[in-house]
Structure 1
Amino acid sequence: MTDNKNWVFILNPIAGNGFVKKYEDTIKEKLNEFGVDADLVYTQKKGHASQIADVYAKKGYKHIISVGGDGTLNEVVRPLVGNKDVIVGIIPAGTGNDFIQILGFPNRFEDKHWPIFFEQNTMDLDVGTCNDNYFLNGMGLGFDAEVAAQNYEGEDIVKKGGKDKYIRHILKTLLFFKEKRMKFLSDNGNGYTDCFINTTSIGRRFAGGFFLTPEAIANDGLLDVCSIEKLSLFQRFRILPMVPKGTHIKDKNVTYYKTANLDLQFSEKVPYHLDGELFFDQKFDIGILPGALKIIYNPQGPHY
C-alpha cells in the first residue's frame, strides 16, 4: 500500500536520448496499478527540475520523484537537501545511470521493481558539497572531467548517443589529455600532484561502468577519493582495464583514501563535473553532509 497523495514525478524529456517520453505511458500505468495519484511534470530547460521540486516541496508534497539520469536527479534534490519531510525517489531513464546502483535498483526498472519502489523503503543518503553545489554520486577533476566535457557540444548541449559515446570520449581523452599541477589539502595530508584523475565520491560507479571508487559507502559520512598522478600513455592503457573491476586502487600510481573534507587548487580554471554535469573553476572546497537526503532504495538489491 502507498500514500496516494502528495506525489510528483519530474520528467526530463531529453534524458536517455528521449527515452523518458517513451516511458511516460509505463509510469502512468504503474501509478494506476498501485493506486498513486500523482502529478507528472516535464522540465523545459536546464535548472527547471530544481524549480519544480522547490515549488512542490513548498506545496507540501511528500514524494518528489526524478525521472531521468544522474544530472536530472542532481537538479531535483538541490532544494530538498536536509528536508527530511520529503522522500526523494529516482526512476532511472538516463544514459549512464551510475547513481541508481547505490540504491540497489537496475539501470531500467523491470515489473518486479515497481512494487519494491512503491513500498517506500528509505535510507538517509550522504550528500557531497563542492563550493556552492551538491553532488550525490561524485565529483571529478582531470581525466574524468575532460571525458565529461567531451560529452557537451556547447555549455548546455549534451551530445546524443548511448554508452558507446562514453567509450569514444574515454579513448580520445586517454590519448590527448595533459595533466595539470594541483595543490591538495585533506584529513589525509597535503601536497602537490600532477593530476591525471581526482575523483571524490559518495558512490562507486562512473561513465556507465567504471568503478573509480570501489570502496565507497553512501551513508558512512565520508568521501572516498581516488587520486591518480601523471601517467605515461602506456600506463594509461594499463590502468584503464582495471577500473571496471576496481582493482586499479592497488596500483602504485593511485592514492585512495577517505576524508570528510578536501581542498583543491589549480593555477587556472579547469573543467570539473558533479554527477556528470560540467562546470569550471580554479579552487574547490569539498565536503559532506551526512544523511542529508531521505531517498527510496531497494533492500533486496545490491545497495550500499
Structure 2
Amino acid sequence: MAKSNILFIINPISGGKDKLTIPDLIDAYLDRSKFNANYRFTSYAGHAAEIVDETVSMNFDIIVAVGGDGTINEIGAKVMHQHKVLGIIPYGSGNGLARFLKIPMNTRKAIEVLNHFQVSKIDTAIFNDKVYFNMAGMGFDAHISSIFAKNKKRGFSEYLKTGLKEMINYKPETYRIVVDGKSYTRKAFVVSVANSSQYGNNAHISPLASVSDGLLDVCIVKNFPLYKIPALAYYMLSAKTHQTDMVEIITGKNIQIFREQEAAIHIDGEPFLMGKEINISIQPLSLQVIVPGHI
C-alpha cells in the first residue's frame, strides 16, 4: 500500500510552549508504514498559510497544524480549498476545536490519532470574508483578544489576568442580530457565533453546539453585574450555559449583526478590526479532519 505524504506545520510560539522537540516525538511515534513525514516551522504571522500555498504542486495528502486555534484557522482555510485532509496536534493556549473534537492534549496520543487516520467532515463558517472553524464574535472577548495579541507573554494565565483587568471598565454594546430573517435587538457583553461548543480550556459557551449539524449558534452574553462573574464561569466550565438566563442562544444558518461602531472582532481567537455590519454563514461539511472517533 502506498504511503501518504504528511506535512507538519509547527507554530513555535503558540501557547507559550516549546516545540523544538516535536519532530523527534513525531519520528518516535508516527506510523512510518503509513506516512512519509515532513516538517516546517513558521517564522511570522501568515507564514503557515504561505507554506500551505507552496505545497499546492507537492504531493502532500495530509497537512497537520501544530499549534492553537489561530494556527488551525490559518492552515485549515487553505487545506479546505485544496481539498486535502487536516490533522491537529494541539499546542495552543485554549485549543477549543481540538478539545471539542476530542483530540488528546498529550502529543504522543495526538500522533496516535493521526496513525489511525479516521477522517470526518466538519462544518466551517464565513465571517464577512474570513473562514473560521471554532468560534468568532465581538464584544468583550474580541476586545481582550486584541489586547492579548500585543502581549509578549502567552498562555491561559496571562489571558485570564488581562481579562480580569479589562472587565472593570468595559461597556456593553447594543446589537441588532438577524438570524435566518428574524431580527433581535440585544444589549450584550459578548456576541459569539459558535461552530463548536467552547472557546477552549473547556469553557463552553454553547454546550449543545455541533460541528456537523449545518447550524451556527449565536450566543448572546447579556449585560451582568461584576458579582455574577463566578456564576457565569461556573456555567461555562460545567457546560451549562444553555441553562442560565445570563446567556441566550439562537441557532441558524445565515446571520447578520449590526453594531454601533467599528471595533475589534475575533476569529478563532485572532483579533481583527471590522466595521459596523457583519455577515456570517455556514458551509456544511466542508473540511476533512482527522479525529479520534465519531463527532
Return the TM-score normalized by structure 2.
Answer: 0.92
Corresponding residue number in structure 1 for 2:67: 68
- Does residue 266 in structure 1 map to residue 264 in structure 2? no
Q: Distance in 1 between matches of 2:201 and 2:144?
A: 12
User: Displacement, 1:237?
Assistant: 4.2
1:273 is paired with a residue of what secondary structure?
A: strand
CA RMSD in angstroms, aligned pairs only: 2.1
| Residue equivalent to 1:235 | 228
Conserved in 1, the CA contact under 8 Å of 2:5 and 2:35? no
1:105 aligns with: 103
Q: Distance in 1 between matches of 2:79 and 2:38?
A: 18
SS at the partner of 1:57? coil
Q: Confirm or deny that 1:221 pairs with 2:219.
A: no
1:128 aligned onto 2:125: yes
Residue 35 of structure 1: how far off its partner (Å): 5.5
Does 1:143 pair with 2:140? yes
- Residues 126 and 152 (structure 1), Cα distance of their counterparts in 2 relative to 1, 3 Å cut: same
Counterpart Cα distance in 1 of 2:185 and 2:219: 15
Q: 1:190 to 1:160 in 2, by over 3 A?
A: same
Segment of structure 1 superposing worse, 4-13 or 231-240: 231-240
Aligned-pair distance for 1:131? 0.7
Contact 2:56 2:82 in 1 (8 A): no
Cα distance in structure 2, aligned partners of 1:262 and 1:179: 20
Q: Provide the rounded CA distance (Å) in 2 between the counterparts of 1:18 and 1:104.
A: 20
User: 2:5 matched to 1:6?
Assistant: yes
Distance 2:106 2:90 in 1: 6
Query: Equivalents in 1 of 2:230, 2:169: separation in Å?
Result: 13
Structure 1 alignment gaps of length 5 or more: none
Percent of matched pairs sharing the same residue? 26
More displaced 10-residue stretch of structure 1: 235-244 or 38-47? 235-244
The reply on whether 1:117 has 2:110 as its aligned counterpart is: no
Kindly state the Cα deviation for residue 4 of structure 1 after the two structures are TM-superposed: 2.7
**Gap change, CA 1:161 and 1:37, over 3 Å in 2:** same
Aligned to 2:91: 93
Q: 1:219 to 1:82 in 2, by over 3 A?
A: farther
Deviation at 1:265, TM superposition (A): 1.6
Separation in 2, partners of 1:212, 1:34 = 41
> Could you tell me the TM-score, scaled by structure 1's length?
0.89
Measured after TM superposition, the shift of residue 244 of structure 1 is 0.9
1:16 aligned to 2:9?
no
Deviation at 1:241, TM superposition (A): 2.5
Amino acid at match of 1:88: L
Aligned length: 294
Quote the Cα distance in structure 1 between the aligned partners of 2:17 and 2:246.
40
- Does structure 1 residue 205 correspond to structure 2 residue 198? yes
Deviation of the 1:16 alpha carbon: 2.6
Deviations 1:116-159 (A, max 9, x none): 32121000011011011011111021122123223122xxxx53
Name the structure 2 match of 1:185. 178
Aligned pairs for 1:279-294 within 5 A: 279-282=272-275, 283-294=277-288
**C-alpha distance 254-5 of structure 1, shift in aligned 2 (>3 A):** closer
Distance 2:111 2:230 in 1: 40
Q: Does 226-235 or 178-187 show the bigger shift?
A: 226-235
Instruction: Say if 2:30 and 2:111, in contact at 8 Å, map to a contact too.
Output: no
Cα pair distance change 1:3/1:205, threshold 3 Å: farther
Call closer, same or farther: CA 1:253–1:17 in 2, change over 3 Å. closer
Q: Any unmatched runs of 5+ in structure 2?
A: none
Distance apart, 1:189 and its partner CA: 2.3
Aligned equivalents of 1:260 and 1:205: distance in 2?
19
Shift of 1:75: 0.5
- Whichever residue aligns with residue 283 of structure 2, its letter is L
CA separation in 1, counterparts of 2:237 and 2:38?
38
Structure 1 residue 78: Cα displacement: 1.7
Q: Determine helix, strand or coil for the equivalent of 2:199.
A: coil
